[in-house]
Each structure stands twice: as structure tokens, then as C-alpha cells.
């Protein structure tokens, strides 16, 4: 097969899943693929560093008042948006006004639900001058929650909300050129005035390639230059691609979490013993070794192992006899259980079939159903599933994520879009997580989060499988690949390109 490059003008980046929107500010649904593209075009006030602590991005300094109620952000100098506008506090205010007006998926993170009423975390937002933004929160404990939520909010220039869906404008390293929605292809040019310095790659193309065979062919022929975290490529394919003369495969530790989600309100999974049986029936170590070729590390929590709040909870070591005993105690009568995941993902398909085989060997009747990504997102939000598998990207790095995943108030419904898809409800867990989120002392919060995870991991609304390694396949002309544990695309601005 020819290895001649198909196009030398662009660096072409493969995206393994189609995305639903270019506008991640006001969208009504979570979309991990769209979030990767967001990293190219936008900056946020806050980002996470290598240790998952919160530091400024568009903010050069963050100060908290003595009472913990007020956070003052000093904005960076010399930041320009893609339309040439200088970045000021007015843009921050405008962004949040549009966010809350939209009542979209991300806006919900800034509210609590109390007696069916939404209570805002942010009491006021002031812009005393062009370089200062002051947030006042309802109670001191909301400081960390605010910082966590700010990471996902792309700051947009004043007056551009209506164009963000078709002609997005941000301050990030790459400027939008065009979007072909029929092919899910986006083209960008380097932002020459980017505040951290212009990217080395002058033009990039993001090309959605969901089919594994097509992606391999594109990499081999030069139609794709780099495939960061190609979740649709099976590990054996990654290994074989690394042996080709024009390609290289690099492996980095990852913090994202691959999981099996269990709908706790759908019989027979409404029986906790059936859910626990599923936990003991899956031989994760064997899957990692034989199917993933060591391209993952086993997980016992949704949090990364180096998180300050990490604890292993109930550990589900492979024990098929225990699984069979639990099914017997549960009175399981071979009822069929549907296992859903996205179509077009060869890697998911390979390990999902191994999981299905393990579960069926233990006495369960598990049937696979593949669904296109957009439809699956809707079905998960509506509870139209029993088992599913997926990956949480980024959000699982902060224990505040426990609130979204495991509290009754976050069950998707009329006013909530995220993220308790398992429809798990335990009043004790609600109380403990609420105390943990509101604790101002980190040591106290750590004890509470441990207690919550001990209960949740025993109830098993979600089974952590492993932390996938961040694999990158690239043409050898692409250099300086240094992907962070979260696997986001912020590293693209730093890659080098040789002829």
C-alpha cells in the first residue's frame, strides 16, 4: 500500500466519534467528541494542571476572600479573540449570561435543586474593570465546585452567541475556517496572535473517522497524520500500526475511566446482588493483558489513583463462583439483559464481547445491542438501557463528580441532563456526598468521599473497568507529542511538523 501523503497543506487529526455541535457552551447534551474539538478553539478561565489542581488559564491570578465567599479573577493581558477583539471582563460576563440563558447541559452544574427549585451557586458576578471578574458564591464550600465547573466553560467574545453554532469564535490556538457537517470535517488555521504563542502547525483538519478499518487505511496512506486516543482502534491494530515504516505509536498514562454502567431501576439489575454478580464475573486483568495488550491499568474507582480523594472501595476481583452464588441468592431466572454501546467502535466491540462472554459463562443472559452514538446518548439520558459501556473523559478527575454520578438530584429528567444515568438513589449517599462537597477542610472531605465510595461501590451502579492508556498513532513527521493524563487535545498546539 502506498504511503504517499494525500495532502501536505493540512495536518489531519482523526476523531473517532462524530460530534453533535460546534457550540459546547449552550448545548443540551454531553458530547465528549465535541469537547476535544473545543480545546482547539477556546480557552476557559480555569484549567487543571498535571496534578488535577485548578489553576488559571485566561485568568493570570485567582484570589479567594478570607470568608471563602468571593473569588477574584485577574485576567491575562494580551489575549485576543479570533475576530481581533481584545479579551476583557465584559466577555466573561457575556459568556455566563448566555450560558445561564440557554439553560443547557453545562449551566445545570452551577445550580443545586432544593425542593424542586433551582438554587444558583453564583450569587453575583461583577466586572469592576476590564481585567477583573469577581464571583460571589452562596457558601464557602462552593468555591471548589465553581472552579471545577469553570474548566468546561469556553469563553466567547461579546456579541457572538448566535454565530457559535456555525462560525465559532474563541481565543484558542486555532481559528475556525469551515465545517462540513455531512462528513463531520472541520478545518482550522493557526491563531497567529495566540497568547501562548502561535502553534507550529499552520493549518489543521479534524476528520471524523469512526470505522476502524478506514482509520487504519487513512493512517497508512497519509490521509490522517495523527490519531490521538483512537478509541475505535483495537489494541492489536495499534500494535501492528507501530511496526509500519511511516508511523509511530506512543503510549501515555491515562486518567479517564472506562466503565460499565448499570441501570439500577431496570429489572433484574434493580437487584443489587445481580449487579454485584456482574462485578465479580468480569476478568478485567485477563482483558487488559490479552485484548488490550497492556494498554490500560485496572481501576477500582471512578477517580484516578493519584487523586487526593481516591479510595478503592469494594474491589471486584474475578470470582465466577461468587458471581453464580449471588445470582442464586438474587433468584435470577435467566431474564435477558441488553448491553448497549456505540456502533463503529472496534475496540469497544472487542472487549464488550469478552465481557458478554464472561457474564454469560457466570449464568447471566446478556445480549449485545449496538446503537449509533447520538441515539445512544439520548437513550442513556432517558434510561432506555440496562447495561452500557463508555468512557468518562476529564470530569472524573475531581471528586465533585461523585455528586453528578451518584446523587438522586442528578438523575436525568425534565430539568436535569447529567449524569446519574444509572438512576441510582441512596439517601445516605446523598447526605454524605452533600457533606463532602460542602466541606471546606480537605481532610474531612477525603474521609467523606471514601465513605460515599465504600457504599456506592458496594451498591454498584457503575463498575470501573480500567484507566485506558492514552495511545497516539502518528506519522513520523509529527513531533513533540505530549498528551496529558486526561487525554484532551490541548497538546495539539505544541506539536511540530517536519517535511
In the predicted model, what is the mean pLDDT of residues 25-37?
A: 83
Which H/E stretch holds residue 435? helix 427-438
Query: Is residue 444 located within the same domain as residue 430?
Result: yes
Tell me the whole-structure pTM to 2 decimals: 0.77
Burial (Cβ within 10 Å: 0-12, 13-18, ≥19) of residue 219: buried
In the listed set 117, 143, 162, which residue is the last one of a domain according to the structure?
Answer: 162
pLDDT tens for each residue of 85-119: 999 999 999 999 999 999 888 998 898 877 778 89
Q: Count of domains in the chain?
A: 3
213 shares a domain with 83 = no
- The overall average pLDDT reported for the chain is 91
Asked if residue 239 and residue 151 are part of one domain, the reply reads no
Please give the C-alpha separations between residue 64 and each of 61, 134, 308, 450, in angstroms, as whole numbers: 10, 10, 21, 27
- Is the pLDDT at 288 greater than 90, yes or no? yes
Asked whether residue 186 falls in the same domain as residue 152, the answer is no
Judged against a pLDDT cut of 60, whether residue 4 lies above it is answered with no
User: Residue 137's beta-bridge partner residues?
Assistant: 122
pLDDT in tens, 144-171: 889 989 999 999 999 999 999 999 999 9
Distance CA(110)–CA(102), nearest Å, equals: 13
pLDDT of 3 reads: 44
* CATH number, residue 388: 3.10.105.10
Would 479 be classed as within a structural domain?
A: yes
Q: Which three cell numbers stand for residue 199?
A: 502553534
Residue 24 domain flag: no
Q: Give yes or no: residues 285 and 315 share one domain.
A: yes
> What range does the domain containing 91 cover?
42-162
- CA nearest to 65, candidates 140, 147, 133: 140
pLDDT, residue 364, reads 97
For residues 329 and 321, give the distance between their C-alpha atoms in angstroms, rounded to a whole number: 12
The DSSP-derived string for 102-119 is HT-TTGGGGEEEETTEEE
Would you give the distance in Å from CA 365 to the centre of its chain?
A: 30
- 488: its cell numbers: 484532551
Residue 478: inside a domain, yes or no?
Answer: yes
Report how far residue 282's alpha carbon sits from residue 393's, in angstroms, rounded to the nearest whole number. Answer: 23
The model's confidence at residue 416, banded by pLDDT at 50, 70 and 90, is low
Judge whether 268 lies within some domain: yes
CATH number (domain holding residue 234): 3.40.190.10
Q: Could you tell me if residue 30 is inside a domain?
A: no
Domain co-membership, 205 together with 310: no
**Which CATH number belongs to the domain containing residue 100 in this structure?**
3.90.76.10
Check residue 8 and give its pLDDT: 57
Q: What angle do CA 45, 49, 203 make, to 5 degrees?
A: 70
Do 433 and 420 lie in one domain? The reply is yes
Decide if 31 is inside a domain: no
Please name which of 213, 229, 222, 174 lies closest in space to residue 39, comparing C-alpha atoms: 174
Same-domain status, 399 and 275: yes
Q: Which residue has the higher pLDDT, 448 or 231?
A: 448
Q: Is residue 330 one of the residues assigned to a domain?
A: yes
| 454 and 343 together in one domain | yes
Helices (H), 223-342: 235-241, 272-281, 284-286, 320-330
Is 342 found in the same domain as 268?
A: yes
Q: Examine the domain organization and report whether 333 and 432 are in the same domain.
A: yes
As a whole number of angstroms, the distance between CA 267 and CA 357 comes to: 20
Residue 451 lies in a domain: yes
Name the β-bridge partners of 180: 185
Determine the Cα angle at 236 with ends 233 and 239, to 5°: 95
Question: Residues 486, 360: one domain?
Answer: no
For residue 415, the model assigns a pLDDT of 54
Amino acid at each position: 500500500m502506498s504511503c504517499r501523503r494525500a495532502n501536505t497543506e493540512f495536518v489531519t487529526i482523526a476523531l473517532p466519534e462524530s460530534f453533535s455541535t460546534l457550540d459546547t457552551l449552550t448545548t443540551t447534551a454531553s458530547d465528549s467528541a465535541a469537547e476535544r474539538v473545543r480545546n482547539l478553539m477556546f480557552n476557559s478561565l480555569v484549567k487543571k494542571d498535571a496534578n488535577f489542581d485548578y489553576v488559571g488559564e485566561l485568568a493570570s491570578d485567582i484570589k479567594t476572600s478570607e470568608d471563602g465567599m468571593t473569588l477574584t479573577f485577574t485576567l491575562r493581558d494580551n489575549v485576543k479573540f479570533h475576530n481581533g477583539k481584545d479579551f476583557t471582563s465584559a466577555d466573561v460576563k457575556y459568556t455566563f449570561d448566555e450560558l445561564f440563558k440557554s439553560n443547557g447541559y453545562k449551566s445545570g452544574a452551577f445550580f443545586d435543586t432544593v425542593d424542586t427549585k433551582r438554587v444558583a451557586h453564583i450569587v453575583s458576578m461583577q466586572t469592576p474593570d476590564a481585567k477583573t471578574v469577581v464571583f460571589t458564591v452562596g457558601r464557602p464550600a462552593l468555591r471548589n465546585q465553581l472552579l471545577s465547573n469553570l474548566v468546561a466553560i469556553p469563553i466567547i467574545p461579546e456579541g457572538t452567541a448566535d454565530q457559535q453554532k456555525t462560525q465559532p469564535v474563541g481565543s484558542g490556538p486555532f481559528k475556525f475556517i469551515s465545517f462540513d457537517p455531512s462528513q463531520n470535517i472541520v478545518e482550522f488555521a493557526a491563531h497567529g496572535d495566540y497568547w501562548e504563542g502561535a502553534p507550529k502547525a499552520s493549518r489543521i483538519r479534524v476528520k471524523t473517522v469512526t470505522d476502524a478499518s478506514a482509520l487504519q487505511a487513512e493512517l497508512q496512506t497519509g490521509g490522517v497524520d495523527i490519531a490521538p486516543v483512537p478509541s475505535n482502534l483495537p489494541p492489536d491494530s495499534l500494535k501492528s500500526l507501530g511496526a509500519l515504516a511511516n508511523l509511530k505509536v506512543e503510549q501515555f498514562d491515562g486518567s479517564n475511566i472506562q466503565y460499565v454502567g448499570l441501570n439500577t431501576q431496570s429489572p433484574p439489575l434493580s437487584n443489587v446482588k445481580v449487579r454485584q454478580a456482574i462485578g465479580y464475573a468480569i476478568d478485567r486483568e485477563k482483558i487488559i493483558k490479552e485484548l488490550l495488550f497492556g494498554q490500560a491499568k485496572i481501576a477500582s474507582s471512578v477517580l484516578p489513583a493519584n487523586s487526593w480523594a481516591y479510595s478503592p472501595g469494594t474491589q471486584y476481583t474475578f470470582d465466577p463462583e461468587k458471581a453464580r452464588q449471588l445470582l442464586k441468592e438474587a433468584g435470577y431466572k435467566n431474564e435477558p439483559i441488553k448491553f448497549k454501546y456505540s456502533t463503529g467502535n472496534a475496540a469497544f466491540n472487542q472487549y464488550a464481547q469478552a465481557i458478554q462472554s464472561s457474564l454469560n459463562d457466570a449464568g447471566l443472559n446478556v445480549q449485545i445491542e449496538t446503537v449509533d452514538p447520538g441515539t445512544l446518548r439520548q437513550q442513556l439520558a432517558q434510561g432506555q438501557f440496562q447495561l452500557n459501556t463508555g468512557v468518562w473523559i476529564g470530569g472524573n478527575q475531581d471528586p465533585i463528580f461523585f455528586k453528578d454520578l451518584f446523587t438522586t438530584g442528578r438523575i436525568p429528567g425534565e430539568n436535569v441532563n447529567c449524569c446519574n444515568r444509572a438512576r441510582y438513589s441512596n439517601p445516605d449517599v446523598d447526605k454524605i456526598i452533600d457533606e463532602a462537597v460542602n466541606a471546606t477542610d480537605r481532610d474531612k472531605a477525603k474521609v467523606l468521599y471514601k465513605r460515599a465510595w465504600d457504599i456506592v461501590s458496594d451498591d454498584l451502579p457503575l463498575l470501573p473497568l480500567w484507566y485506558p492508556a492514552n495511545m497516539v498513532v502518528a506519522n513520523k513527521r509529527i513531533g513533540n507529542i505530549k498528551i496529558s493524563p486526561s487525554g484532551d487535545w490541548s497538546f495539539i498546539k505544541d506539536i511540530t511538523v517536519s517535511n
